[in-house]
Amino acid sequence: MELPLRVFFFAFLCLLVSYSAVVQAQGKNSKTVVTYDGRSLIVNGTRKLLFSGSIHYPRMPPEMWPDIIKKAKMGGLNVIQTYVFWNIHEPIQGQFNFEGNNDLVKFIRLIGQNDMYVTLRVGPFIEAEWNHGGFPYWLREVPNIIFRADNEPFKYYMKKYVKMIIDLMKKENLFAPQGGPIIMAQIENEYNNVQLAYRELGVQYIQWAANMAVGLKTGVPWIMCKQKDAPDPVINTCNGRHCGDTFTGPNSPDKPSLWTENWTAQYRVFGDPPSQRAAEDIAYAVARFFSKNGTLTNYYMYYGGTNYGRSTSSFVTTRYYDEAPLDEYGLTRDPKWGHLKDLHRALRLSKKALLWGTPAVQRVSNDLEIITYERPGSSICTAFLNNNDSKSAATINFRGMNFYLPPKSISILPDCKTVVFNTQTIVAQHSARNFHPSKKAKNLKWEMFQESIPTFNDLPVKNKMPMELYSFTKDTTDYAWYSTR
């Protein structure tokens, strides 16, 4: 009896291992269904609280990507948002570059390997303090083109580019329904800022852009930021510093409240001091947004990185959003990084109430407010105690207990009893960044180059009418000799 028992046990073990391998393989290749309703994004039937950060692949060497993504995850993020940069991928019409810093596919795969989601902002106009807003120079030379309008030449090239990017993502199986990490995509960018200038051409264009994007059938929701009239089923989203108070809300009750750009500081221009935004203010704004039905916030930027070469727009420095939670070098900028990490933990503890509870608002005074999320018939309950007075602290009575609130702060009680986080109370560590003189640069010497000044006859280009510098240099340089007589 002993030998057959061993044989049976060995066979059972092999069967178990085989079954486990099949389950794992199915898990890796399983299709993910991404939908939404008026409360949140829904991934495979499960509502999601999403904490996202903007990280742009061309603004750092590929060698830094793994470390930056891991630090974002450690900070409590579960989504990475990135633009797609047309002018680096197609600098010359018909010639494409997806290598090195431009390897979009590799970047997205790394995010997926860290079990994080991706929001892909295709644009193609991206702003992003990027040269030409992301448009390649050659697009300007298309006859009769009008950018970002109901204009046939522009729509032809825009659709061709967007389809190329979407087809690449599909080919590499990067959309969630294919087993990839991309759960949302964005078409256009802050178009409401310029739409009125285009009049009817603007209205028609935004309808066309939405229909074009949805028609590409990615299997994931499309969004438009700062686009109050985003056509269904595209979701309109908020950009700004305090979307909990400035966002007018989704333009349909069937769409969730999403915050696509929560500005962690401000990009820096030459001549200006570093932009500052306190960790306490960011935390307050996020807690406020989630207390008012928000379920996704994206930090713009979470890591800014570096503007290399001539990639940046006018006056913007090479150092991009150095005051973000991760600085230009990828170091954590504390307490900003740590305080937001603690905030994400507190909101996750409130997940069930926020996603399935019924909200209720109690105004105590002009500056004091209690917002609760409860699920009837259960113990699921979360409370946000809000003191909106920026100068004075307050004590608020909630369900028989007194709670102290510092000025301009929100306390989060995941069980409606215990304060686990206050936006003004920082317990995260503080850090300082020190610079040491470079030994390599110690003996560098400046040398001056004297350029000979050409005469009118020496200049090769002659024209009877003044020429526009940008068209003359074709975006290869910002300098040219100019002489008139």
* Distance of alpha carbon 206 from alpha carbon 117, whole angstroms: 27
Is 285 within 8 Å of 241 (Cβ atoms)?
Answer: yes
Q: Does residue 219 belong to any structural domain of this protein? A: yes
Give the pLDDT score at 6: 52
Amino acid identity of residue 221, one-letter, is P
14 versus 93: which is more confidently predicted?
93
Strands 50-55 and 294-303: parallel
Distance between CA atoms of 430 and 428, rounded to whole angstroms? 7
| Whether residue 271 sits in one domain with residue 192 | yes
Same domain for 393 and 278, yes or no, is no
At 50, which CATH number? Answer: 3.20.20.80
Residues 377, 341: one domain?
Answer: no
Question: Is 481 part of any domain?
Answer: no
Write down the pLDDT at residue 368: 98
Residue 25: its pLDDT value, please? 39
| Mean pLDDT, residues 330-343 | 98
Q: Are residues 243 and 319 in the same domain?
A: yes
The tens digit of pLDDT for each residue in 99-121 reads 999 999 999 999 999 999 999 99
| 109 shares a domain with 85 | yes
Verify that 220 and 111 share a domain, yes or no: yes
| Per-residue CA distances from 380 to 208, 226, 345, 385, 415 (Å) | 44, 34, 17, 17, 7
* Domain edge (last residue) among 290, 324, 349: 349
Grade residue 2 by pLDDT with cuts at 50, 70 and 90: very low
467 inside domain: no
pLDDT in tens, 358-374: 999 999 999 999 999 99
Instruction: Classify residue 306: in a domain, yes or no.
Output: yes
DSSP 341: H
Q: Give pLDDT tens digits for 302-334.
A: 999 999 999 999 899 999 999 999 999 999 999
Confidence of residue 410 (pLDDT cuts 50, 70, 90): very high
Question: Which residue of the set 129, 261, 280, 323 is catalytic?
Answer: 261
188 part of the active site = no
Residue 199 pLDDT grade (very low, low, confident, very high; cuts 50, 70, 90): very high
Q: Let me know whether 319 and 408 are in one domain.
A: no
Preceding peptide of 335 cis, ω within 30°: yes
In a domain, residue 483? The reply is: no
C-alpha to C-alpha distance for 313 and 311, rounded to whole angstroms: 7
**Single pTM value for the model:** 0.92
Please name which of 399, 421, 425 lies closest in space to residue 411, comparing C-alpha atoms.
421
Domain finish residue from 376, 403, 422:
422
Share of the chain above pLDDT 90, in %: 82
Query: Could you tell me the pLDDT band of residue 246, with boundaries at 50, 70 and 90?
Result: very high
- One domain, residues 376 and 227: no
Shared-domain flag, residues 344 and 393: no
Out of 368, 389, 422, a domain closes at 422
pLDDT over 70 (residue 12): no
Domain assignment present for residue 452? The answer is no
Q: CB–CB of 329/321 below 8 Å?
A: no
Predicted confidence at residue 384, as pLDDT, reads: 98
pLDDT of 30: 64
In a domain, 271, yes or no: yes
Q: Does residue 345 sit in the same domain as residue 364?
A: no
Question: Number of structural domains, the chain?
Answer: 2
Please count the residues of the chain: 485
Q: Which domain holds residue 163?
A: 31-349
Confidence band, pLDDT 50/70/90 cuts, at residue 24: very low
363 within a domain of the structure (yes/no): yes
Contact 122, 162 (CB under 8 A): yes
Same domain, 165 and 128: yes
Same domain, residue pair 156 and 205? yes
Is the pLDDT score of 232 beyond 80? yes
